[in-house]
Amino acid sequence: MDSLAQIASCIAGYDPRALPVAQAQDFIARLVPRVQAIERVAVRSALGRVLAQDLISPIDVPAHDNSAMDGYALRSAELDPAGETQLLVSGTAYAGQAFVGQVPAGQALRIMTGALMPAGLDTVVPQELTRLGSDGRVSIPAGVVRPGDNRRLRGEDLARGEAALHAGRIVRPADLGLMASLGQAEVAVLRRLRVAFFSTGDELRSVGEPLDEGCVYDSNRYTLHGMLTRLGVELIDLGVVPDRPEALRQAFSQAAACADAVISSGGVSVGEADHTKQVMAELGEVLFWTIAMRPGRPMAIGRIGGQESFSRIGGQDSRSGGGGGGGAILFGLPGNPVAVMVTFYAFVRAALLAMSGATAQPLPPLRAISVAALRKKPGRTEYQRGIVSQGSDGRWQVRITGAQGSGILRSMSQANGMVVLHHAQGDVAAGELVDVLPFDGLV
Ligand code: AMP
Ligand code: MG
């Protein structure tokens, strides 16, 4: 396991006081371990889980050559290329029932979609292209099909022994169907990542408590709950922790002992007077970064817990195959509600997916026209909350949701995506294309 200093030495231009987003992402990718423990779950329960092993097809899919259409199966060699062909219909093949017998030369077979192709027949003419005479003969005009048309070949979807899905895949609805089509009742997935989180700050009150003078309700645990739930990790909500060294020490140790990753919010700003940073540093190897981004500049990252603190709080590592004795990965996020979400999407999301064993699936950004001019200083990455809609010309456009202050959660709620203005990018003119990360996806 590399020390944080060793990792930092691999990052070109590493400067903890002005760290570009890409460098911070690179650092985190090198830092995080991956869960190892495997469990078997029923196919339906695999949705959203990470496949532990390649899923090898035990069968050919489809298992037999079959018809892709309702129509007539025939021998393509018997079709007259110059004129109409007439063939006597010798019977019917239904899906799920093997057709018994032979189709004599010069004859066709009425066939349903999914029915097995009888031996010797190679092509299906869709019913709507044919005419059935009262004499039981089907007439097929010239040139309506080519040899092999409308026939699905055995194994064309998947050949036996082929990998249908690869390890590291996050299982999606289509994959459940694919697993079922292979006759699988269960699959091997990696155990779920455990993530503990809490909010820090003396000014925070929990929902249900009276709001004392100068206090705010803790909203970060709610947005974190939402984002973590969407990621499919196991959540451990440790509540609000006051700015007292013993309380913070207890919360961080408890979190590190029971989780693979610990997310705190608040108390990491430069010149912060509270005790959060001090306690983090005491419990492990932690770096305090100022990231060249807006919002969300301060952030702490590192490992806390580890072997001695497990024994100190009397807990054996219950995280079989997880972080092992190496403790938990700490993400100390800033306190501002929007900064929490932006730093989560910019850094924590990909890190937790990697820890969960998922192979990287970068989110494809949407390119949209900025309706208004945007001011942007080169040398930092800016995330602005935006509303993407379709213009009257059918092209995608984005407008910024009013005030962008990092405490204004309402604009995050109004937005349906984040406009990402990259590190080197300068001012954006109205009508220019910008990158947007949409909040919602189809699956
Ligand atoms: P900090 O990073 O601790 O200096 O907090 C920055 C700002 O975010 C302060 O105005 C805090 O009151 C606010 N804040 C911190 N944590 C939370 C939270 N959990 N919910 C809502 N606001 C918070
Ligand atoms: Mg604070």
Specify the range with the lowest mean pLDDT, choosing from 108-117, 238-247, 277-286, 403-412.
403-412
Distance 309 CA to ligand 2 centre (A): 25
Is residue 407's pLDDT more than 90? Answer: no
- Tens digits of per-residue pLDDT, 179-238? 999 999 999 999 999 999 999 999 999 999 999 999 999 999 999 999 999 999 999 999
Residue 157's nearest CA partner among 58, 63, 73 is 63
223 lines ligand 1 (CB under 6 A): no
242 lines ligand 1 (CB under 6 A): no
Distance 215 CA to ligand 1 centre (A): 10
Report whether 140 contacts 83 (CB < 8 A): no
Nearest CA, atom 15, ligand 1 = 335
Distance 278 CA to ligand 2 centre (A): 13
Q: What's the pTM value of the predicted model, to 2 decimals?
A: 0.89
The number of C-alpha atoms within 13 Å of 354 and in the hemisphere containing its C-beta is 17
98 lines ligand 1 (CB under 6 A): no
Q: What value does the mean pLDDT of the chain take?
A: 93
Nearest CA, atom 7, ligand 1 = 336
332 lines ligand 1 (CB under 6 A): no
Do β-strands 107-111 and 85-93 pair in parallel, antiparallel, or remain unpaired? parallel
220 lines ligand 1 (CB under 6 A): yes
- Tens digits of per-residue pLDDT, 288-339? 999 999 998 999 999 999 754 433 333 334 443 344 456 999 999 999 999 9
Residue 303 corresponds to which tokens in the numbers above?
């490992």
Only one residue has tokens 């739930």, namely 229
Nearest CA, atom 6, ligand 1 = 335
When pLDDT is cut at 50, 70 and 90, the band that residue 13 belongs to is confident
Judged by its nearest atom, the ligand closest to the C-alpha of residue 240 is: 1
- Tens digits of per-residue pLDDT, 54-69? 999 999 999 999 999 9
Q: What is the mean pLDDT of residues 345-349?
A: 97
- Tens digits of per-residue pLDDT, 245-264? 999 999 999 999 999 999 99
Judged by its nearest atom, the ligand closest to the C-alpha of residue 241 is: 1
- What pLDDT score does 103 carry? 95
- What pLDDT score does 331 carry? 98
- What pLDDT score does 404 carry? 83
First to last CA, the chain: 36
Residue 308 corresponds to which tokens in the numbers above?
């001695």
Residue 296 corresponds to which tokens in the numbers above?
């969300």
203 lines ligand 1 (CB under 6 A): yes
Q: What is the DSSP letter of 100?
A: P
- What pLDDT score does 417 carry? 96
The full DSSP string for 110-122 is: EE-TTPBPPTT--
Distance 319 CA to ligand 1 centre (A): 31
Ligand 1, atom nearest to 274 Cα: 3
Ligand 1, atom nearest to 200 Cα: 16
Distance 155 CA to ligand 2 centre (A): 60
> Residues near 146 by Cβ (< 8 Å), separated by ≥ 6?
76, 123
When pLDDT is cut at 50, 70 and 90, the band that residue 270 belongs to is confident
Q: 3-class SS at 414?
A: helix
- What pLDDT score does 405 carry? 85
**Domains and their CATH numbers in the chain:** 4-37+192-355 (3.40.980.10), 40-61+156-189 (3.90.105.10), 66-152 (2.170.190.11), 366-438 (2.40.340.10)
| Better-predicted residue by pLDDT, 33 or 317 | 33
Distance 298 CA to ligand 1 centre (A): 12
Cis peptide before 62 (omega within 30 of 0): yes
- What pLDDT score does 296 carry? 84
298 lines ligand 1 (CB under 6 A): no
Distance 205 CA to ligand 1 centre (A): 11
- What pLDDT score does 320 carry? 38
When pLDDT is cut at 50, 70 and 90, the band that residue 273 belongs to is low
296 lines ligand 1 (CB under 6 A): no
Residue 315 has a CB neighbour count (10 Å cut-off) of: 15
What is the residue type of 174?
Answer: A
d(CA 307, CA 259): 14
- Tens digits of per-residue pLDDT, 417-427? 999 999 999 99
- What pLDDT score does 323 carry? 43
305 lines ligand 1 (CB under 6 A): no
